[in-house]
Amino acid sequence: MMETQFPHAPSIADHGLIGNCRTAALVSSRGEITWMCAPHFDSPFLFARLLDHARGGSWELQPTEAFRSNHEYMPGTNVLVTTYTCDRGRVRTLDFMDVTPESGSMEPRPGALFRIVHCLEGTVRMRSRCMPRTDNGAQEPVIDLHGSDALFGAFRCTAPGAWGWDAHGHAIEHVMAMSAGERVAYAMSGPRMESAVDAFDALDGTLAFWHAWSARCTYIGPYRTAVVRSALTLKLLHDQDSGAIAAAPTTSLPEEIGGVRNWDYRFCWIRDASFTLNALMQAGYLEEEEALFKWIFRTVKLEGPELHVLYPLSREGSVEEVELAYLKGYRHSKPVRVGNAAARQLQLDVFGEVLDAIHFACTKGLQDPRPLWQHVLPLIEWVLEHWQLPENGIWEVRGGRRHFVFGKVMCWVALDRAIALAERFRLPGNVDQWKDHRARIKNDVLHRGWSDKLQAFTQSYEDERLDAANLMLPILGFIDGADPRMIATIDATTARLVDNGLCYRYLDAPDGVEGGEATFVLCSFWLIEALILANRMDEARNLFERMLARATPLGLYAEELDAVTGEHLGNFPQAFSHIGLINAAVALDRQRVPA
């Protein structure tokens, strides 16, 4: 049996995600933790082999002899099972973070990381090799060994026996022979990562939590397995402390191998929170809707109309964008960045997303708009005064502000939802003025945002380019899905932005960043929803099932997919991608079983 060597980090798609709803880790099918920040999503990383094989740090747990391995989630959970088959035996590991709720609570209690090893057959020699790094990979920490405990900074790694040093003295390791039936555990704890129970009790409590959480999914259509996996992934990205959602748990995984489009997504975007609220609500998760809604409302209350695009998840998190020149990047894709300068951009769609989320929650009977209306009115006034401004757009271009069609449409959405709320709940406001501006925005978009040459809505008023964001226009209610202009836009998008069933955001646009990118997973799901609203169900269902086949073996999606190879690229797993899957599945089911 030959053991395959990875001269660089495993592929993005080779990983599973585990987490405790405060932070998360990526685990490869060979038992390597190649990514983890602690104790929060936006904390400095402890393990980052994905970004630099030599300097990033990792935690390996695998047989010392040649092996074959595969991994899968325990059904309905975020507990990752990796099975190793060797010549002399078979072993499985269970990787998870403890989320056992406190007594009487249904909320997860973020706890330690556990790695349980269970020998299934024969005799297998296992090695745990832990090489943490601090200060975002800049430092090798001082590690103090005290028998089965290894201490570095505020963190502790515990083994079932005494730790020692590896041959090079840069990592600690523990080696032990295991026979059939034996079961041991490793653990990593630290600030805000403590567990009140041992590994095996934590496993029982964590499994019980995830099984109960999965069972709450109200979607019962033909794609339930994929919907539940997407919901489980979104829950892992949902920060228990703030109620916000991380766009992804990683930074700087490239949109193009060797390229520079490498961004930090370990923050909460206003639009992500809004989209996630909608998706989880459609899947039946009302408690998460409540937490997300409170985060959105709290942000609106504090910031008023001066909303930023994105926010840190923890008090220690920083959005200041910095390049870490000492790290090589994933497969030599530099630069590696922490922080995200898009936080200070002007993106008009944010206001529409806030009002859409409020409208969605209130019209579903989950929230009362009256207590928060005084904080909504300034947002509406801001839209009335500023909707005609150029902006950076939903794709956060760095090549100068333009009049993006999607941004204008989202200003229309902001006013449309405000009007609906005011009329339904008899709330104060100059509704006639809002209706006048709503009509003006729509007229502006239909005339300045339509191209007779392209026979489609354009990316911006300044150009003759397509943008997949415009597939959202019928989904948002701006235009009927069967309107000839929308049908033409779908056809133009399919002809020019879709390759091998995968949709690019846009092509050859002046976004201010060098290099290219792959297709954007969310845009493919938007196309499916647009096809549904255009009454093209066969096309929509075919495309959806092709998208399901492109998931990783664990049912996860990165931000982007290479149209030729299907390789997952960009940060992983991406909340946007899983939001899109849930919404498209629900939309398909709505047509299958009309309300």
**CATH number, domain with residue 263:** 1.50.10.10
d(CA 77, CA 233): 10
> Does residue 243 belong to any structural domain of this protein?
yes
Q: Angle CA(203)–CA(205)–CA(207) in degrees, nearest 5?
A: 65
Q: One-letter amino acid identity for 17?
A: L
Residues 172 and 265 in one domain: no
Average pLDDT in the chain = 95
Going from the C-alpha of 509 to that of each of 317, 491, 513, the distances in angstroms are: 32, 20, 10
Last residue of a domain, one of 146, 169, 195: 195
> Does residue 299 belong to any structural domain of this protein?
yes
The one-character DSSP state at 388 is: T
SS3 of 428-485? CCCHHHHHHHHHHHHHHHHHHCEECCCCEECCECCCCCCCHHHHHHHHCCCCCCCCHH
Say what the pLDDT of residue 196 is: 87
Residues 273 and 182 in one domain: no
> Does residue 200 belong to any structural domain of this protein?
no
Residue 114 backbone phi and psi in degrees, to 5: -125, 145
Residues 140 and 235 in one domain: no
The runs of H, that is alpha helices, within 175-307 are: 199-215, 224-236, 270-283, 286-303
Residues 82 and 181 in one domain: yes
Residues 541 and 404 in one domain: yes
Query: pTM higher than 0.75, yes or no?
Result: yes
Q: Within a 13 Å sphere around the CA of 334, how many CA atoms are in the beta-carbon half? A: 8
Say what the pLDDT of residue 167 is: 84
Residues 420 and 304 in one domain: yes
Residues 6+ apart with CB under 8 A from 318: 42, 312, 338, 339
> Does residue 5 belong to any structural domain of this protein?
no
Residues 181 and 253 in one domain: no
Q: What tokens does 116 get?
A: 């349980």
Residues 292 and 182 in one domain: no
- Name residue, tokens 């846009």: 506
Domain count, the chain: 2
Q: Give the structural domain span for 287.
A: 229-590
Last residue of a domain, one of 178, 195, 212: 195
Q: For the chain of 595 residues, list the mean pLDDT of each consecutive stretch of 10.
A: 47 98 97 97 96 94 97 98 97 98 88 98 97 92 96 96 91 97 97 94 98 95 97 96 96 96 97 92 84 90 92 94 97 96 96 94 89 95 98 95 98 98 97 98 98 97 97 98 98 98 94 93 98 98 98 98 97 98 95 58
Q: Are 172 and 143 in contact (CB under 8 A)?
A: yes
Residues 191 and 317 in one domain: no
Say what the pLDDT of residue 9 is: 65
> Does residue 92 belong to any structural domain of this protein?
yes
Identify the CATH number of the domain in which residue 167 sits.
2.70.98.50
Q: Angle CA(480)–CA(482)–CA(486) in degrees, nearest 5?
A: 75
User: What percent of the chain is helix, strand and coil (3-state, nearest 5)?
Assistant: 35, 20, 45
Task: Pick the closest to residue 550 from 529, 585, 581 (CA basis).
Answer: 581
Q: Angle CA(552)–CA(471)–CA(299) in degrees, nearest 5?
A: 80
> Does residue 7 belong to any structural domain of this protein?
no
Residues 396 and 543 in one domain: yes
Residues 583 and 506 in one domain: yes
Last residue of a domain, one of 195, 215, 242: 195
DSSP symbols for 326-339: TS--GGG----EES
> Does residue 201 belong to any structural domain of this protein?
no
Say what the pLDDT of residue 509 is: 87
> Does residue 70 belong to any structural domain of this protein?
yes
**Cα 411 → chain centroid:** 25
The one-character DSSP state at 502 is: E
Residues 289 and 378 in one domain: yes
